[in-house]
Amino acid sequence: MDKYLVLNSDREVVTQLIMGVHQIPDGALLIDDARWYEVTQDVTCTWKVDEAGELVKLPKGEIVDDDRSRDLEREWRNQALASTEWLVTRQRDEVEAGRSTSLTAEQHKQLQGYRQDLRDWPESEHFPAIEYRPEQPAWLAELIQ
């Protein structure tokens, strides 16, 4: 599966998406599996595409503008919500059609809880500190990778 990075107007990585799982917006940057793994696993930094088109990591402290950090984190939150919308839609459609569901009742409950945590994230006392982001359920990470 092809993997992409979504960048904001300052060429900073906002989120990561997978073809076939997520809707890939125009302008998303295709990356290889090794870089994908590095970007998704290293949360100690901020990722940016430099003037030469190279993906570089910056120390987290380099982004100091609080309004800017809040905007970036809201973008990440919005992408995380969008990336799980298909699961909610599929679950609803399966229930309405009287079919067995792809998610268990417990998984659906966890998914809805995670999505509510994402909605509440901007009001958190720790917002926009990345290390306090809502954690997605482990099974969800496995599903979208």
Give the start-to-end residue ranges of the domains of the chain.
Answer: 1-63, 65-145
Residue pointed to by tokens 């006392």: 125
Mean pLDDT of the 105-134 span: 93
DSSP 63: -
Residue 4, SS3 per DSSP: strand
State pTM to two decimals: 0.59
Task: Using the CB atoms, write b or e for 106-129: b if 16+ within 10 Å.
Answer: ebbebbeebbebbeebeeeeebbe
The answer to whether 21 and 48 have CB atoms below 8 angstroms apart is: no
Read off the pLDDT band of 145 (50, 70, 90).
Answer: low
Residues in the chain: 145
Read off the pLDDT band of 102 (50, 70, 90).
Answer: very high
Read off the pLDDT band of 63 (50, 70, 90).
Answer: very low
Mean pLDDT of the 111-120 span: 96
Mean pLDDT of the 29-50 span: 81
The answer to whether 111 and 137 have CB atoms below 8 angstroms apart is: yes
pLDDT, tens digit, 9 for 90 and up, residues 75-90: 889 988 988 999 999 9
CA distance 28 to 34: 17
The answer to whether 22 and 83 have CB atoms below 8 angstroms apart is: yes
Element (H, E) at 125: none
Read off the pLDDT band of 56 (50, 70, 90).
Answer: confident
